[in-house]
Structure 1
Amino acid sequence: MDFKDQILQLAVRAEKMLPQIQTEEATKNALIMPFIQIMGYDVFNPFEVNPEFVADIGIKKGEKVDYAIMKDGEPAILIECKHHLENLDPHNSQLFRYFHTTKAKFGLLSNGMTYRFYTDLVEKNKMDTTPFFEFKLSEIKEVEIAELKKFHKSYFDVENITNTASELKYLNELKIILNKEINAPSENFIAFFTKQVYPGVLTSKIKEQFTPIIKRSFAQLINDIINDRLKSALNQEKQKDAQEAIKIEEAQENAQSNIVTTEEELEGFYIVKSILRQSIDAKRITYRDAQSYFAILLDDNNRKTICRLYLDHKKHLAILDESKKEIKYEISGIDEIYKYGDILIKTVERLNKK
């Protein structure tokens, strides 16, 4: 199971377990420890995951952080855990205090469902007040899984993560601002866009008039982008289906070109045809040759198989019963087909009723 599937599986399990998780300790055991394991760290090895890591703060001794992920004998990521129902907003100050007393480059604050990653982008060795990366386990997106994977033990590289942390932080903050402005546009936001299309003076009445127009514009723009992507995805799927159909057709043509109808198979066909003349019009009896057998059909319909001839090695006459299961009769030569005339006639009578 790959990393993405493991994270998605944890999300499904977490939703089911939440009603049974009553304490912070249960949150750690049921949600956060499995998450750390998925990240590639051995939660039972204190050289990798050190629980109750001591982070002395000035004169306060014995201060502990829930977990420290270790690298080369030093803490690399400090993890502070809360109950899954707790709001994380008031709690980053506790992690903030631990951060500057250790050599850890990253802090993680989590309640098992929301995960916030912090570093020191604003001031070196001082944890930022806002996370540079955040995701919710129940709503995790493809792009977030790709970012999260950078913290996996196999890919963890402090410099690499730090280089992208700044961009991630500003990207997330801008997304929040844009989302807020689209849903409840501020006066400056309204004024900025109105000026682009309205040549007159921006009075309060004009701004009020343009507010719903701008909101609708963004809503329609987003819908258009989504529809375009859906159309593109559908077109790609159609192209893929068409290519698959061509491949299948080519494979069938290649298989057909390798089929050689033998004189013995044709002689067997004529024997069956002569047996059935007394029951039906002989013109209705046809054949189709395949790589493994020679099929004799009624009305050139492969759903109305009268019999199959296997003449390559051991010779057999095969009849399909009502459940399409083959019943094989061994024959020493094609003349023995005459021995099964009654069975062939009954088979045709059954097929003719369909």
Structure 2
Amino acid sequence: METLSGFQENLTAIAQRSAAIKSACSNEESTKLYLVLPVIGALGYDYTDPFVVQPEYAADFRNEMPERVDYVVMADGNPVIAIECKKVGTDLSANRGQLRTYFSALQTVHLGIMTDGIRFEFFVDCENPNVMDQEPFLTLDMEAATRSPIPADVIEALSLISRSNFHPDVIAEAAEERLVAKRLRAVLMQEVREPSDELCRLVLQRVGMRNVRRTSIQTRYSSLIRSAFEDALVLPVLDKLRSLQARKTPEIAQEVETAQRIVTTDRELAVYRYVCRRLAYLAADEYQFAAVERVQHKDYVGKFVVYYERERKGRLFDFIEGSNGYDKFIFPEPFGEIITNSMSDIDQALKTTFTQRIRELASAKASEAKQLQTA
């Protein structure tokens, strides 16, 4: 197989093309032909060779009119991967039962893929042999791959599924680790949002506070622990942002500062740090959490601008520091001006605007990629 970086570049190129042509894939057959088969090929499986990939493979105990898998990947004459395809835009979670039956019918299959050509969900049978797990251990989102690089851990997991590296035992072990990690993240995120009494007691004991009343935990310490979690979660993000800022050439930074005569105040930096911390906490998913790294700021005379990726198209708000303790935040409509002495008052406007900017810029990038392909 090619190097991991080459593998990632190949998948990213396929993702760009898939995003550009998916609107033309109006049925299941076109989805399979134009969106699914290229990904199968990228994994190293020659879909033009019937000894490697077979379409419409019988997967049922019945001899008359058996159920058929859209594709199976073969190894030593036996099916080892079952691939069930649906039309672009189909709710995959509502159709997992169909793929689950193939695990029972095909005893040599221990890996299944459910896809609509844009989203690829990968399942194994970790909990019970030949019984497909309830949740995928790996998801490849081709649309997200047009907005940001495919995560390294996803690339590594996909490489294990490739033809050159395929080994069921290795995949099963990696899948189990990913599933446990996924569940742990879900539990921890829930604890961060609403710390349980049990966790609060444990944390308080670690800092030397024992026999704390339940009412005290709920009225006082729970919010303190939640804030501490917020800070701890986003420190890696802030560290990365600081390292990126440090890479700027000192001479250039000095020239810009001298030319513009602008000094970024402690209050403005505090606003920026608050925005990064709150967006990481309010993120709806891992993609939004990762997007916080691309939130930036720029100082002007009289105002401080916070934006996502692009200063104009990604503008989140303008900040104007007040002299009387009340600051002004100017958001796009429908929020407009928010004058406050408490930054928590901007949370709703911040979350909504951030989500909207991510969606708008992703759409703009997809449109630009399509124009380049048709040029």
TM-score > 0.5 by shorter chain: yes
Q: What is aligned with 1:107?
A: 112
The answer to whether the Cα contact below 8 Å between 1:119 and 1:128 also exists between their aligned partners in 2 is yes
Give, in whole Å, the separation in 1 of the partners of 2:29 and 2:119. 16
1:48 counterpart (52, 56, 63) = 52
Mapped to 2, the partners of 1:57 and 1:236 lie a distance apart of 63
Which residue does 1:117 correspond to in 2?
122
Letter of the aligned partner of 2:138 in structure 1? F
| Secondary structure, counterpart of 1:41 in structure 2 | coil
Partner of 2:134: 129
Q: Structure 2 vs 1, CA of residues 232 and 24 (structure 1 numbering), >3 Å: closer, same or farther?
A: same
Secondary structure of 2:159's aligned partner? helix
Asked if residue 222 in structure 1 is aligned to residue 233 in structure 2, the reply is yes
Contact 2:61 2:105 in 1 (8 A): yes
Structure scoring higher RCO (CA < 8 A, sep ≥ 6) equals 2
Aligned 8 A contact 1:191 1:207 in 2 = no
- Counterpart residue type for residue 127 of structure 1: M
CA distance in structure 2 between the aligned counterparts of 1:186 and 1:23, rounded to whole angstroms: 47
Retained in 2: the 8 A contact 1:133–1:172?
A: no
1:101 is displaced (CA, Å) by: 1.3
Percent of aligned positions with the same letter in both sequences? 29
Paired residues, what number? 238
- Matched residue, 1:206: 217
Separation in 2, partners of 1:49, 1:158: 17
CA distance in 1, matches of 2:92, 2:197: 31
| Structure 1: unaligned runs, 5 residues or longer | 239-354
Of 157, 161, 172 in structure 2, the residue corresponding to residue 147 of structure 1 is 157
TM-score, normalised with respect to structure 1? 0.60
- Please tell me whether Structure 1 or Structure 2 has the larger radius of gyration of its CA atoms: 1
Q: Please state whether the residue corresponding to 1:117 is helix, strand or coil.
A: strand
Q: 1:74 maps to which residue? A: 78
With over 3 angstroms needed to count, the CA separation of the structure-2 counterparts of 1:228 and 1:4, relative to structure 1, is same
User: Relative to structure 1, is the Cα distance of residues 70 and 232 closer, same or farther in structure 2, using a 3 angstrom cutoff?
Assistant: same
1:195: how far off? 4.8
* SS of structure 1 residue aligned to 2:46: coil
Which residue of 137, 158, 171 corresponds with 2:168? 158
Q: Could you say what secondary structure the match of 1:93 adopts?
A: helix
- CA change 1:110–1:184 in 2 (3 A) is farther
CA drift of 1:30 comes to: 2.3
Give, in whole Å, the separation in 2 of the partners of 1:165 and 1:14.
26
Q: CA deviation at 1:208?
A: 4.0
Letter aligned with residue 99 of structure 1: F
Alignment check: 8 A CA contact 1:119 1:131 kept: yes
Unaligned runs of 5+ in 2: 145-149, 250-375
Contact 1:115 1:135 in 2 (8 A): yes
| Aligned counterparts, 1:1-354, within 5 A | 2-58=6-62, 61-102=65-106, 103-139=108-144, 140-197=150-207, 198-204=209-215, 206-231=217-242
Query: Using the alignment, how far apart are the partners of 2:240 and 2:248 within structure 1?
Result: 12
The 2-side partners of 1:189 and 1:113 are apart by 39
What's the C-alpha RMSD, in Å, of the aligned pairs?
Answer: 2.7
